Amino acid sequence: MNESSGLVLGIDIGGTNTPFGLVDGQGTLQFEDQLETRAEQPLPQLLDRLFQRLEDGLRHRPELGAPRAIGVGSPNANALTGWVESPPNICWGTVDLVGELRRRSDLPVFLTNDANAAALGEWTHGAGRGASDVLVITLGTGLGSGLIVGGELVHGASGHAGELGHICVEPDGRACNCGLRGCLETYVSAGGLLRTAAELGLDLDPWCRPGEEPSPRTLHQAAEAGDPRAAQVFELSGAMLARGLSTAIHILSPGRIVVCGGITRAGEWLLEPVRRQLPPLLLEPFRGTYSLLRGELDPDRAGVLGAAAWARRGLAGKALIGTGTGTGTGAARV
């Protein structure tokens, strides 16, 4: 049995929901389900509910058989240690996620962070497939990113590589929740676009459905309706994303750049200003060496597929596995 055969369990822990599923070697979800994360409850309760739900579901699908490995993506996960380190908006504190999963299963467990899981999904089964140097950006509340360099997911010496959301694109610029200033995600993310809209004096309430808060969706509506300030929000956000991408291209030269997340429903409103404003920020030899694409996967499934792909790489000896010691030095290749 090679690493591409059989099913693996992919789990994509989020602040609100935790989808999971059994994925075959072709990237097809043979079984999928979703739990509320219940961020105010401790981790063991989430895992107990998850394994109970999986067991219940599989009782009706005996033909599927048992999975061969578990891949899991989580906010603030560190693949080098196997721990999750004080994820924002979840009450766990710092916990040994790999250890907790191993207490409930004999299967090998492979952990990475949520942005990397989404990146692995797009790389393996979406807009990044077939490329060996890929940057995947996920736009949501913040800006997450995952990097594939030379055909390997990058974790770096600390395990935290790929924080493109916190590179500085405007010295002394907007204050970020992280405590730094001018971070890319203060301009390019759901919150960043709304800050820009507010700075331009754009009132999005007329485009909100009853009870709906202003969001990138309402901004998109306003742009489609011809509001020039809404178009300007996309123009300015595209300029900032172009700054961030020019930096990433000069450093890593990815051949494929994939932008994912709900905001990309605005499509070319977001991407056209980037495509136009990026080349003048590049050294000549980099122009024309990349393609800038929207993600192809359903955002609710990209993380599950990516976590499963990470587990499959683990079975092939190509993923890091945390020892669960929490020392940060115990990483080993499987």
280-300: buried (b, 16+ CB within 10 Å) or exposed (e) per residue?
A: ebbeeeeeeebebbbbebebe
Window of 2-10, 50-58, 147-155, 262-270 that interacts with a second copy by CB under 8 A: 147-155
Other CB atoms within 10 A of residue 3 CB: 17
Out of 100, 122, 133, 185, the residue judged to bind a second copy by CB under 8 A: 133
Q: How far is the CB of 117 from a second copy (least distance, A)?
A: 18
Give the interface size with a second copy as a residue count (CB under 8 A): 47
Yes or no: say if 70 and 8 are a contact pair by the CB < 8 Å rule.
yes
Q: Based on CB atoms, which residue is closest to a second copy, 22 or 164?
A: 164
β-pairing, 70-74 vs 8-12, is: parallel
Look up tokens 């809209």; give the residue: 197
Amino acid identity, position 38: R
Window of 25-33, 163-171, 230-238, 262-270 that interacts with a second copy by CB under 8 A: 163-171
Out of 60, 63, 285, 332, the residue judged to bind a second copy by CB under 8 A: 285
Q: Based on CB atoms, which residue is closest to a second copy, 30 or 253?
A: 253
Q: Which residues contact 30 (CB under 8 A, 6 or more apart)?
A: 7, 21, 22, 23, 24, 61, 64
Out of 253, 299, 325, 334, the residue judged to bind a second copy by CB under 8 A: 253
125 to 28, 71, 121, 128, 249: CA distances (angstroms) = 9, 16, 6, 8, 23
Q: Confirm or reject binding of residue 114 to a second copy (CB under 8 A).
A: no
Q: Confirm or reject binding of residue 82 to a second copy (CB under 8 A).
A: no
Q: Confirm or reject binding of residue 334 to a second copy (CB under 8 A).
A: no
Q: Confirm or reject binding of residue 131 to a second copy (CB under 8 A).
A: yes
How far apart are alpha carbons 19 and 191 in whole angstroms? 24
Q: Based on CB atoms, which residue is closest to a second copy, 23 or 84?
A: 84
Q: Which parts of 23-62 interact with a second copy (CB under 8 A)? A: none
Out of 38, 51, 53, 286, the residue judged to bind a second copy by CB under 8 A: 286
Cα dihedral 165, 168, 169, 172 sign? positive
What x-and-dash track marks residues 169-198 binding a second copy by CB under 8 A? xxx------xxx------------------
How far apart are alpha carbons 263 and 197 in whole angstroms? 14
What distance lies between CA 67 and its chain's CA centroid?
24
Residues near a second copy (CB under 8 A) are 85, 131-133, 147, 149-150, 152, 154-164, 166-171, 178-180, 243, 246-248, 250-256, 281-286, 289-290
